[in-house]
Structure 1
């Protein structure tokens, strides 16, 4: 979230639940099998449970997940599980309550941790913790996050800090995967590599004997663009075929102009075929840091 926030969009600019379901059916018919609801904060959507149930009932959709800050998650966990949500990601950049309050500008650490523990008790698998690592902020905590996996069946994912509008990215604060791994191996020399799936975005590891595991999303230092099979649909209905690309196609406007499903599928196909080879066509992380794009809160990830 940019320090000065982002302008709230009028409700009429956002996709309605029937519009989301329609697009999900079209994408499922084209081979999409997994959907993740992100944000912003998806739990702020009043009909999230109904939306999740609708998505889970679409033929071809095998999994529906949610990425959340966890603040209000605990009281909604059972309803989300009953609606068919089977994958949870909780964003948590620190295990220290005072540091949590500093970066989020609010109290709530205890509620987030309670949500994680309750989700674990309810059997959510996988249950992932997303941690964006920055030098001088939380690099000193990555050993603690790995230690957390000893007794908790969670997948901690250390995410390289990526440049987006208003997040003040700089290479002095950026920490590459190789440096994080070196720190962890010094503390946990027995760490082992786990097998990654064909389209996984995370390099997975674990410490033998620990219940959970950890991994790295290395978008900046070792990008995985060649195997990326993700599409993003923003809350206002724009299709982004690349997280880092600034090219968007409005599927909302297409639907509201009353075009038929086949034409919408054609729009998606053309957009996918125009996807740049890597990093949205920006060359490297320094070129990416100068590019214009939405703030991450308006993209979802």
Structure 2
């Protein structure tokens, strides 16, 4: 059994305050770097139910988790998403409830999500060019997504961020359209280095570029890196005195990327992933059937963390057993 004051730590002394919880593997976009052929059902759709998610979050908060991010697939395809947000927000110990979404449902639903307790929002927008957005995602929905983002900016959210995958095709122009985008908007736009997965080898080899390109461009144009907060994700964010927003870089191929890891991941089927790009994980679902299993569940999580690796093996072209990012929520 765990000690009442136990916290989520691993063998390398890293403490975990941030849980990324996938609530579905389904996605309605066909992004070139993730699901170019669209989502294809690979098994039963028995994703974690609301009661199971509530028990899971309660156990993690008992181990020091303070921030919970709902991911997918695309989490907004779940009809009970508002209920999930409300339940997690009401869990003692939870200070932030975040959502990562492709934005397709933002204009219609963001008000009710914030009303239910959503505090932080990330929207995936891989290009500000309509044709490029359509080509990357398979949907001509850029105007709708941007409209939803503007709705979100008018609401009392702690942070609104934009995620964009850094692709070689996108380097035909410099990053000035994005810096102009954040000139008057208090938004953080974070570029994510394309990561190798089991399904995207050919695409990765054609499209991967180092985050050093963005870093150098920002530094050359007067942007300065700022320190990370305790429960921030892995982005290095850059600020400029003339801009309301920030530009960020998530560079998993950079040195020391895993040293400050502060996040744990649970899949939509209840498996604790010890590393996004690792092999397998530890099943938790068999302990989510009743409230009586909380202490045993916490003990299993603490024991599993002793096997968390020091770092991923992406540098050796080994993505573990992850087929695509929709599989575990990225």
Q: Same-fold call, TM > 0.5?
A: yes
Stretches of 4+ aligned residues off by more than 4 angstroms: 256-259
2:236 to 198, 203, 213: 203
Larger relative contact order (Cα-Cα within 8 Å, sequence gap ≥ 6): 2
Q: What TM-score comes out, normalization by structure 1 length?
A: 0.91
In structure 2, the gaps of 5 or more residues are 1-33
Q: Which residue of 2 aligns with 1:193?
A: 225
Q: Which residue of 2 aligns with 1:295?
A: 324
Displacement of 1:165 after TM fit?
2.3
Displacement of 1:223 after TM fit?
4.2
1:286 to 305, 313, 316: 316
| Residues 252, 207 of structure 1: alpha-carbon distance in 2 compared, 3 angstrom cutoff | same
| Residues 176, 227 of structure 1: alpha-carbon distance in 2 compared, 3 angstrom cutoff | same
Q: Give CA deviations for 1:256-293 in whole Å, capped at 9, x if unaligned.
A: 599822222122112111000001xx2x423325x432
State the number of aligned residues: 294
Larger fraction in helix: 1
Q: Which residue of 2 aligns with 1:173?
A: 207
Look up the SS of the partner of 1:132 in the other structure.
Answer: strand
Look up the SS of the partner of 1:85 in the other structure.
Answer: coil
Do the aligned residues in 2 keep the contact of 1:24 with 1:55 (CA within 8 Å)?
yes
Equivalent residue runs for 1:146-161 within 5 Å = 146-161=179-194
Is 1:235 the counterpart of 2:280 in the alignment? no
| Residues 244, 139 of structure 1: alpha-carbon distance in 2 compared, 3 angstrom cutoff | farther
Q: Give CA deviations for 1:1-49 in whole Å, capped at 9, x if unaligned.
A: 32233432433x2110000000100111111101000111111110111
Look up the SS of the partner of 2:263 in the other structure.
Answer: coil
In structure 1, the gaps of 5 or more residues are none
CA distance in 2, matches of 1:151, 1:257: 49
Displacement of 1:235 after TM fit?
0.9
1:23 to 39, 42, 56: 56
Look up the SS of the partner of 2:121 in the other structure.
Answer: strand
CA distance in 1, matches of 2:47, 2:245: 37
| Residues 138, 75 of structure 1: alpha-carbon distance in 2 compared, 3 angstrom cutoff | farther
Displacement of 1:241 after TM fit?
2.0
Do the aligned residues in 2 keep the contact of 1:90 with 1:128 (CA within 8 Å)?
yes
Q: What TM-score comes out, normalization by structure 2 length?
A: 0.83
Q: Which residue of 1 aligns with 2:109?
A: 76
Do the aligned residues in 2 keep the contact of 1:94 with 1:141 (CA within 8 Å)?
no
1:266 to 299, 310, 325: 299
